[in-house]
């Protein structure tokens, strides 16, 4: 019940909270805490740096300089505001020291980045809200994409998670997100949002608790189930939190803080950077033949950067033509008529390319499966390579092996064609 949710400060001592948070107290009375060695904040900063170059066509290449002094609010104000947000959503939103630290990250330490993310939200949130509504899911889940990717569709984590919703390859494949030499659908705003909603829907059917759904999105349902077992069967996020992976312990507090920051940004003197184009100012058309962005840009007068932003899933700035698999092009509404008028000439450009330039484009192929192979008695690299249709050198490269020596039980990462799995 929501009445018992503001219990955290009463149930655990403040020293326990800060120890689990991996933070350092400056002043207990003000609850002012400084982060150190926080993987979620480090990931956030890394993604924001990549976001700066990718969104240049939408905003310009420099963030607006914020010279205002962040206002200071008491804990009672934060708590009242979050309680107000909590009345509007089935997702449990609570205020505690964990949440406060991330409120400080978004409203004090990363104010300029918040301003840009608010501008990006004006473009992406209509997409998210439409799909969330189709799945009958809480619209507040849209804020999770800010925690995941800072609203950068090309964001890629150190582990390989990709896109606005940060799908790993295998998880994306489970949700029918295709990855090929030309296209990575994990970077497609609409398709990736559908996949995320499928995950939310499934997890809620398992847990019946939105905080656990969020935790499972970050660490996987297996880790959440393990934490539930280790806690003695408890099914409350705050009660199983200490049994979750380190990053997941920060994940739900960060989500609550983003919900707060996006709804109370003006109270913190943070305003959105206005993007040059909004969602209702673009349109989509199915392409009939292969298209090169560079030629398209010069043909219809849309910058290459803008084409890349509007169509982030095309990895080499080329839309392929694959029989039985439609691909779409997103353009500003004002330029759609120009494209339609010149469509035949644009398609003809590829047909007229000389043979030498055609060689620069890769052959279309689906990304290979990532397989974990455990070495068995009697196996050696050559035998394993033949089993999976790859070379010994590739196995060595994938696993940073300096020689042919392997041991029984050793796990090897392999990337192989689907027919070898």
Mean pLDDT for 94-100 is 97
pLDDT band of 66, cuts 50, 70, 90: low
pLDDT band of 1, cuts 50, 70, 90: very low
| Per-residue model confidence (pLDDT) at position 360 | 67
Domains present along the chain, CATH in parentheses: 2-268 (1.10.530.10), 279-358 (no CATH), 369-420 (3.10.350.10)
| Per-residue model confidence (pLDDT) at position 359 | 62
Q: Has residue 420 got a pLDDT over 50?
A: no
| Per-residue model confidence (pLDDT) at position 175 | 93
| Per-residue model confidence (pLDDT) at position 23 | 40
Query: What residues contact residue 348 under an 8 Å CB cut-off, 6+ apart?
Result: none
How far apart, in Å, are the Cα atoms of 227 and each of 7, 43, 221, 240, 249?
A: 20, 24, 10, 6, 11
pLDDT band of 26, cuts 50, 70, 90: very low
Mean pLDDT for 130-151 is 97
- CA gap 222, 243 in Å, rounded: 12
Q: Has residue 36 got a pLDDT over 80?
A: no
Query: Is the separation of the CB atoms in 140 and 260 below 8 Å?
Result: no
- CA gap 42, 50 in Å, rounded: 13
| Per-residue model confidence (pLDDT) at position 33 | 35
Q: What is the dihedral of CA 112, 117, 122, 128, to 10 degrees?
A: -170
- CA gap 407, 184 in Å, rounded: 35
- Kindly give the interhelix angle for 210-219 and 246-263, rounded to the nearest 10 degrees: 120
Mean pLDDT for 51-70 is 66
Nearest to 348 by CA among 294, 302, 290, 287: 290
Query: Is the separation of the CB atoms in 294 and 317 below 8 Å?
Result: yes
Query: What residues contact residue 23 under an 8 Å CB cut-off, 6+ apart?
Result: 33, 34, 35, 36, 38, 101
pLDDT digits (tens, 9 = 90+) for 173-190: 889 999 888 899 999 999
| Per-residue model confidence (pLDDT) at position 181 | 81
Mean pLDDT for 360-368 is 68
- CA gap 253, 330 in Å, rounded: 35
Q: Mean of the per-residue pLDDT values for the chain?
A: 84
- CA gap 197, 129 in Å, rounded: 11
pTM exceeding 0.85: no
The better pLDDT of the pair 12, 154 is held by: 154
pLDDT band of 400, cuts 50, 70, 90: confident
Least confident of 41-50, 55-64, 142-151, 323-332: 41-50
Query: Is the separation of the CB atoms in 328 and 288 below 8 Å?
Result: no
Q: Go through 375-412 and write b for each residue having 16 or more CB atoms within 10 A of its CB, e for each that does not.
A: beeebebeebbeebebebeebbeeeebeeeebeeeeeb
H or E stretch covering 296: helix 293-300
- CA gap 180, 283 in Å, rounded: 25
First CA to last CA across the chain, in angstroms? 47
Query: Is the separation of the CB atoms in 270 and 118 below 8 Å?
Result: yes
Burial class (CB in 10 A: 0-12, 13-18, 19+), 37: exposed
pLDDT digits (tens, 9 = 90+) for 341-362: 989 888 887 777 655 566 667 6
| Per-residue model confidence (pLDDT) at position 346 | 87
| Per-residue model confidence (pLDDT) at position 210 | 98
- CA gap 95, 79 in Å, rounded: 5
Q: What is the dihedral of CA 106, 107, 111, 114, to 10 degrees?
A: 50
pLDDT band of 249, cuts 50, 70, 90: very high
Nearest to 113 by CA among 154, 177, 65: 65
pLDDT digits (tens, 9 = 90+) for 308-333: 999 999 998 999 888 888 999 999 99
Select, from the ranges 15-19, 63-67, 145-149, the one with the highest average predicted confidence (pLDDT): 145-149
Three-state secondary structure call for residue 74: coil
| Per-residue model confidence (pLDDT) at position 163 | 95
| Per-residue model confidence (pLDDT) at position 173 | 85
| Per-residue model confidence (pLDDT) at position 402 | 87
pLDDT band of 275, cuts 50, 70, 90: confident
């Amino acid at each position: 019940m929501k009445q018992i949710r503001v219990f955290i400060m009463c149930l655990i001592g403040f020293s326990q909270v800060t120890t689990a948070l991996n933070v350092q107290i400056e002043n207990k009375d003000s609850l002012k805490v400084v982060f150190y060695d926080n993987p979620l904040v480090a990931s956030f900063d890394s993604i924001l740096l990549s976001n700066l170059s990718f969104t240049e066509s939408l905003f310009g290449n420099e963030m607006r300089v914020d010279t205002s002094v962040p206002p200071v609010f008491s804990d009672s104000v934060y708590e009242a505001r979050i309680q107000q947000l909590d009345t509007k959503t089935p997702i449990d939103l609570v205020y505690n020291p964990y949440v406060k630290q991330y409120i400080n990250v978004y409203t004090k330490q990363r104010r300029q980045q918040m301003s840009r993310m608010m501008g990006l939200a004006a473009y992406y949130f209509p997409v998210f809200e439409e799909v969330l509504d189709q799945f009958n899911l809480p619209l507040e889940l849209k804020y999770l994409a800010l925690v995941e990717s800072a609203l950068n569709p090309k964001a890629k984590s150190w582990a390989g998670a990709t896109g606005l919703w940060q799908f790993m390859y295998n998880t994306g494949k489970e949700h029918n997100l295709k990855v090929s030499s030309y296209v990575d659908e994990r970077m497609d705003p609409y398709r990736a949002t559908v996949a995320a909603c499928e995950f939310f829907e499934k997890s809620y059917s398992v847990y019946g608790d939105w905080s656990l759904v969020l935790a499972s999105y970050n660490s996987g349902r297996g880790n959440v189930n393990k934490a539930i077992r280790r806690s003695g069967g408890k099914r409350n996020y705050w009660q199983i939190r200490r049994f979750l992976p380190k990053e997941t312990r920060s994940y739900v507090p960060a989500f609550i803080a983003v919900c707060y920051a996006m709804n109370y940004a003006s109270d913190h003197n943070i305003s959105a950077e206005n993007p040059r184009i909004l969602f209702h100012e673009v349109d989509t058309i199915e392409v009939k033949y292969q298209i090169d962005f560079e030629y398209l840009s010069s043909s219809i007068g849309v910058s290459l950067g803008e084409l890349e932003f509007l169509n982030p899933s095309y990895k080499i700035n080329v839309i392929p033509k694959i029989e039985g698999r439609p691909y779409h092009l997103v353009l500003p509404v004002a330029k759609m008529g120009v494209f339609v008028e010149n469509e035949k000439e644009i398609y003809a450009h590829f047909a007229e390319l000389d043979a030498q330039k055609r060689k620069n484009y890769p052959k279309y192929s689906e990304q290979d499966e990532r397989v974990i192979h455990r070495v068995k008695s009697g196996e050696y690299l050559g035998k394993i390579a033949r089993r999976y249709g790859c070379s010994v050198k590739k196995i060595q490269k994938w696993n940073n092996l300096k020689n042919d020596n392997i041991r029984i039980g050793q796990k090897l990462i392999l990337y192989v064609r689907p027919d070898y799995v």
